[in-house]
Structure 1
Amino acid sequence: MEKKIIHTEKAPAALGPYSQAVKAGNMVYTSGQLAINSATGELVNDDIRKATEQSLNNVKAILEEAGTSMDKVVKTLVLLKDINDFAAMNEVYGTFFTSNPPARSCFQVGALPKDALVEIEVVAIAE
């Protein structure tokens, strides 16, 4: 099985020694995506709804670069700075997965890079 590194300018560059995503066989594994606007480099950190939307738009751009899409996502991991943001995050999250949603885990964590509000990673089926 070949490992292919996925990179797009439509999502923020990795903040360290890791790839935006890796395609292995017919699966794509994204790294956790913060709510960084790739056009401006700014972290969306003033509202959990806007931050969730930006994080998932980053995921979407990476998946599209890998030749797949949000409807092929089988598993997500959502990391929240504050679990009290769960309901608001969930509202936005639901707009990206409107039918046959993937399996999901969601946790409050001690801290995220750049003091972000949310980080989301996914596993998707590739074509």
Structure 2
Amino acid sequence: MANEAIVTNNAPAAIGPYSAAIKSGNVINVSGQLPIDPATGEFAGDDITSQTRQSLTNVKSVLAAAGATMANVAQATVLLDSIADFGAMNEVYGEFFSAPYPARAAFEVAALPKGAKVEIEVVAYL
């Protein structure tokens, strides 16, 4: 089964040697999405709320390019630069998903690329 790179102008370009997503059969693995607004190349804001919203908007755009929606997401991983932001992130996260919610893990990490507050990756099935 061949891997297909998913590319869209509606999400930021990869900042390294990786694809925004790989579609392999009916599985879509979306790389971690930073809160970069693809129109400006800058963070959508400095707070966790705006950054979470942009990261999830980027995830949604990548999924759309692969023919999927947020309803196809089975698993998500959220990386936070501060676990203290979990509650605010969770509120925005809830705006993007509905029951049955995907499985999820959330971690505090030492640092994220470009000094982001959040990065979100997902696995979806068609």
TM-score using structure 2 length = 0.98
Counterpart residue type for residue 18 of structure 1: Y
Q: 2:92 — aligned with what? A: 92
Q: 1:102 — aligned with what? A: 102
Q: Deviations over 1:50-107 (max 9, x none)?
A: 1000000000000000001100100000000000000000000001112211000000
1 CA distance for matches of 2:60 and 2:44? 17
Displaced runs of 4 or more, over 4 A: none
2 CA distance for matches of 1:99 and 1:45? 28
Q: Please list every run of 5 or more consecutive structure 1 residues that lacks an aligned counterpart in the other structure.
A: none
2 CA distance for matches of 1:22 and 1:120? 15
Q: 2:119 — aligned with what? A: 119
Q: Please list every run of 5 or more consecutive structure 2 residues that lacks an aligned counterpart in the other structure.
A: none
Counterpart residue type for residue 44 of structure 1: A
Say if 1:45 and 1:117, in contact at 8 Å, map to a contact too: no
2 CA distance for matches of 1:2 and 1:57? 27
2 CA distance for matches of 1:77 and 1:28? 14
TM-score using structure 1 length = 0.97
Q: Deviations over 1:97-127 (max 9, x none)?
A: 122110000000000000100000000012x
**TM-align CA RMSD:** 0.7
Count of residues paired in the alignment: 126
Q: How much has 1:43 moved relative to structure 2?
A: 1.3
Q: 1:46 — aligned with what? A: 46
